[in-house]
Amino acid sequence: MQSRLNPYLSFKDNARQAMDFYRTVFGGKLEQHTFKEYGASQDSAEDDKIMHAQLTVDNGIVFMAADTPSGMEYRPGSTISMSLSGDDEAELSGYFERLAEGGTITMPLADAPWGDKFGMVTDKFGIDWLVNIAGGSAQA
């Protein structure tokens, strides 16, 4: 198996809602497992929190997430950005629009100086997304 780098997002206690949302954005197969399922609950209040979730999309997008158990420090804020790129303008524009629902567009998706279309959005879960569409409007 070839090595891969997959983003892993940390949430305080809403990983299930976030990953359900991302599935509506990207489609694909979503697996979610709780702390209780793995016998890893140290507190019954955490039984139904997500210990591991993985979204796998047919086009190769794969990322994971988990809730932060009470015994670990949760560090909110943007320490990582998710970057989507490719040349399928319809697909990537659709992702951008759906990620913006309930979130904040920090840079509208528009022609960029380097010849592509580029935009940035912070989704409703506080995750920053960068979208780059190769060739910009020349691909349309």
The reported pLDDT for the residue numbered 3 is 61
- Alpha-carbon distance of 40 to 101, in angstroms, equals 34
**CATH number of the CATH domain containing 114:** 3.10.180.10
- Residues 43 and 85 both lie in one domain: no
* Number of domains composing the chain: 2
Please indicate, yes or no, if residue 34 is contained in any of the structural domains: yes
The CA-based dihedral angle spanning residues 130, 135, 62, 126, taken in that order and rounded to the nearest 10 degrees: 10
Q: Which range marks the domain in which residue 88 is found?
A: 81-139
pTM value?
0.79
- Residues 53 and 90 both lie in one domain: no
67 DSSP β-pair partners:
11
Residue 29 has pLDDT above 60, yes or no: yes
* Structure confidence by residue, pLDDT tens digits, 88-133: 999 999 999 999 999 999 999 999 888 899 999 999 998 889 999 9
Query: Quick one: average pLDDT of 67-91?
Result: 81
Last residue within a domain, chosen from 67, 96, 117 = 67
Q: Beta-carbon neighbour count of residue 40 at 10 Å?
A: 15
**Sorting pLDDT into bands at 50, 70 and 90, what band is 79?**
low
Please indicate, yes or no, if residue 73 is contained in any of the structural domains: no
Angle at 85 (CA atoms; ends 81, 87), nearest 5 degrees: 165
- Residues 87 and 130 both lie in one domain: yes
Please indicate, yes or no, if residue 109 is contained in any of the structural domains: yes
Please indicate, yes or no, if residue 2 is contained in any of the structural domains: no
User: Among the listed ranges 11-20, 38-47, 53-62, 109-118, which one has the minimum average pLDDT value?
Assistant: 38-47
- Residues 87 and 135 both lie in one domain: yes
Please indicate, yes or no, if residue 20 is contained in any of the structural domains: yes
Please indicate, yes or no, if residue 76 is contained in any of the structural domains: no
Could you tell me where the beta strands, DSSP code E, fall in 59-134? 62-67, 81-86, 104-111, 117-122, 128-133
Q: Which is higher by pLDDT, 40 or 123?
A: 123
Query: Quick one: average pLDDT of 49-74?
Result: 90
